Amino acid sequence: MAGEPQDDCLFCKIVEGHVPATIVRETESTVAFRDINPQAPVHILVIPKVHYANAAALATAEPTVAADVLRETQAVADEEKLESYRVVFNTGPGAGQTVFHAHAHILGGRGMQWPPG
């Protein structure tokens, strides 16, 4: 259910401090941490502290939640000194989502191709 921590959610466990992560930023409503399987020299995830299954669920949340996640992607990019970067939300297993807690991938530090593949 949206908004409630899920016992089986890896990212809820990171938010609660039960699973370690390399946290780079934390606000009242978000946590940003390095991806354990980076796809670029800089690969950081920004998640809301409140559980939403994916970007579609996040879009129906209180408007400030999605805005906070996007605001933090910019703050992380600034701290990482990324001039150019990509922000990706995967929604559903067919799109490559493997952890069903909404999260933005920040990818940078190398050239990005289009289409992404």
The residues assigned a catalytic role are 103
DSSP 3-state of 107: strand
Q: CA-CA distance, 12 to 47, in Å (whole number)?
A: 9
Q: CA-CA distance, 54 to 22, in Å (whole number)?
A: 22
Judge whether 112 and 39 are in contact, CB under 8 Å.
no
What is the token pair recorded at 55? 């970007």
